[in-house]
Structure 1
Amino acid sequence: MKKLLRHSILSIGVLASSFLPAISTAADNFPSKPITYIVPFAPGGASDIGGRILSEALSKELKQTVVVENKTGAAGTIGLGQLIRSAPDGHTLSIVVPPNLLAPYLMPTAPYDLSKDVKAVGLTYLTPTVIAINPKFHPNIKDLNSLIQAAKDSKNGLNYATVGVGSTGHLSMELLAKDLNIKLEHIPFRGSSPGVTALLAGEIDFMFSDIVSLLSHLDAGTLIPIAVGTDDRLSQLPNVPTIKEQNPKANTISTWTGIVVPAQTPDAIVDKLSAALKKVLERPELQERLTAIGAIPYYRDGAFMQKRIVDDSAFWNKIIQDNNLQQKN
């Protein structure tokens, strides 16, 4: 019996060790084909613009084509659902932003839990948020307080656009409306670009979005920034006060962007992707390109990002539960 047990243990050890060369070879040969880079939002927003800048740089670094694929819908769950169902071989990546973390808490039908179903490659950049209005349709709104007053004076309140249900803009505005007892109607869009188009057309009253999507319109004066959603004022908009400066009750958070792969992707492949990401984000020319669109380069490794996913998920889930913001079936 002891001999049989010893033989079984030895066989298991040999079998396990036989997988190691295969994993090592896969990592050594990675990437062996074009990489799909999923952007779970519409073209034209911060995730799309920044994603295309990074995909170009990663393509050169990895010496393999990196193809951006926009998979929009259901607050990003369609794109991330595709990632999770893909082969865990490093050839499918996805951008992740904080709103993607919240889908399981807001929508019971969400097909994933990012704290379990993905493996982080690394953080890439921060995208400051801005509240903007169209002065053509709201000439009297100059700052956050005048926007609040306009909402109080209007029988039906004001409506606002964000990049989707569960976005930080959505949750921040819902909390602000509750704290100040004002009526704000949320109009979710499939990304920033469609929301900006609606704001320019006067179809919505204001928008809470990333500065990347709004910067060209802010520079042109067709849209006016009335508050920024960061802890400190932005260098691009030094005269625009933060939301907290104007109303300390407001809950806001900077929007980070990162890259993930399916959870079962071998660590050796994830490490190779993370090393490539670190290299390209350290290059001054790429940092300049990101800064030019309003993003803040911010590389952090996969371990840091994985913890950020868990911590931010817990933080926003508590806010969702405490304020009854779950999507009703």
Structure 2
Amino acid sequence: MSRFSPLRRRLHLSIIGLAGAGALLVAGAAQAAWPERPIQMVVPFPAGSSPDILARAVAEPLAKELGQAVVVENKPGAGGNIGTRYASKAKPDGYTILLTINGPMVTAPTLYKKSLGYDPLKDLAPITLVGTSPNVLIVPANSPAANVQEFVKLAKEDPGALNYGTVGPGSSSHLGMAMLEHQADIKLQQIPYSGFPQVITAIIGGDIDAGFMVPGIAMTQVASGKARALAITSLEPSDVLPGIPTMAEQGYPGFESISWDAIFVPAGTPDDIIETLNKTIGEILQREDVRQKLAALYFTPAASTPQALTDLVVSEKKRWDEVIERLGLSLD
């Protein structure tokens, strides 16, 4: 026989129900209080790299807005894949943020079909685009080519004789030139280097004939007269690179190879945290001091909705998959 009368049993159950409701309220209050501790912003590239500088430009004002420290953690390696994979496996609680570039999100899944270890569209949730920058086609200062048409003409006169520097097979510097080879029907020789500083040094020294480069490394040498910029790879002229014509303006419509940085979180991160980060970072990117920091790296601020960022990843992947598959390139 029960030790509770019907009335006492109802009262007992009511107390249990109230206790359960109280626990839910406490849990809800805890979630609403995010963030309660420092946030880790993972950058899968070394300190001093452009993604690292962009991350720090965002992290400082973000910390002030959220009332908690935002600590930049550099986890470089494998072209950004190691740090991107690390962030994709983190707990989806809003305390791990990833700032990465297009390579690990767009081309890596095709280049590393077996060994990547993460799916960008399934394992990561988009927050916002941060900034975009065109690449620049650079040649030595004494090159006979003063524009893209003349460079292509030189390449056609002696197929395979001209070479170009890259930061490795499958990089944007490689795939961009492969796209030009296809569109212009020319053949060039790739020479891989360990980084863009080595590429620009080789161009200045006349060891290589050309290279698609990030402007943050190249433009100092162009300004000093040690190298020449033939074109940028955005479809429209760039405010941060005035006076340099686009590839499209020089006979290659649709030629686009944009570097971009964006922020993601592990898939499963609560929607309210995603919304807060999207709104707050979007506002930060409108600040003049932040815009100036991005412009110093030749980046244009470009906040977006999460859906627009997903659409960008999907469209970019489709376009570059065609180039990779045409080359038969795999890095597994």
Give yes or no for TM over 0.5. Answer: yes
Shift of 1:79: 1.5
Residues paired across the two proteins, number: 312
1:328 and 1:95, CA in 2 relative to 1: closer, same or farther beyond 3 A?
closer
Q: CA deviation at 1:197?
A: 4.6
Kindly provide the amino acid, as one letter, of the partner of residue 326 in structure 1.
L
Q: 1:123 aligns with which of 129, 149, 158?
A: 129
| Corresponding residue for residue 326 of structure 1 | 329
1:231 and 2:238 matched: no
Is residue 81 from structure 1 mapped to residue 85 from structure 2 by the alignment?
Answer: yes
The Cα shift of 1:64 comes to 2.8
Partner of 1:175: 179
- Deviation string, structure 1 residues 46-85 (Cα, Å, up to 9, x no partner): 3233222222222332233333333333222112111112
Aligned to 1:51: 55
Q: Is 1:262 aligned to 2:269, yes or no?
A: no
Which whole-Å CA distance do the structure 1 matches of 2:218 and 2:275 have between them? 34
Equivalent residue letter for 2:255 = N
Following superposition of structure 1 onto structure 2, how do residues 1-329 of structure 1 map, counting pairs within 5 Å? 22=27, 25-33=30-38, 35-100=39-104, 101-108=106-113, 109-135=115-141, 138-153=142-157, 156-188=160-192, 192-200=196-204, 202-248=206-252, 251-321=255-325, 323-327=326-330
**Aligned residues of 2:62 and 2:281 also touching (Cα < 8 A):** yes
Question: TM-score of the superposition, structure 2-length normalised?
Answer: 0.81
Which residues of structure 2 form unaligned runs of 5+? 1-18
Shift of 1:191: 5.5
Q: Evaluate the alpha carbon distance shift between residue 227 and residue 261 of structure 1 in structure 2; reply closer, same or farther with a 3 A threshold.
A: same
TM-score (norm 1): 0.81
Q: Look up the match of 1:3.
A: none
Secondary structure of residue in 2 paired with 1:29: coil
Amino acid at match of 1:278: G
CA distance in 2, matches of 1:190, 1:66: 30
CA deviations over 1:20-53 (Å, ceiling 9, x no partner)? 85365234231512x3322223444432332222
Residue 276 of structure 1 deviates from its aligned partner by 2.0
| Matches of 2:79 and 2:239, distance apart in 1 | 30
AA of the residue aligned to 2:250: Q
User: Cα 1:27–1:199, aligned 2, differ >3 Å: closer, same or farther?
Assistant: farther
Change over 3 Å in CA distance of 1:206–1:31 after alignment to 2 = farther
Identity fraction in percent: 30
- Residue 14 of structure 2 corresponds to none
Counterparts in 2 of 1:31 and 1:121: CA distance versus 1, 3 Å: farther
Which residue identity does 1:72 align to in structure 2? P
2:13 alignment partner in structure 1: none
- Contact map agreement 2:237 2:245 (CA 8 A) in 1: yes
Given that 1:119 and 1:263 are in contact with CA atoms closer than 8 Å, whether structure 2 keeps it comes out as yes
Listed one character per residue, the Cα deviations across residues 216-262 of structure 1 (whole Å, up to 9, x for unaligned) are 33322233211110112223443322112223267323333210111
For structure 1, the residue ranges without an aligned partner over 5 or more in a row are 1-13
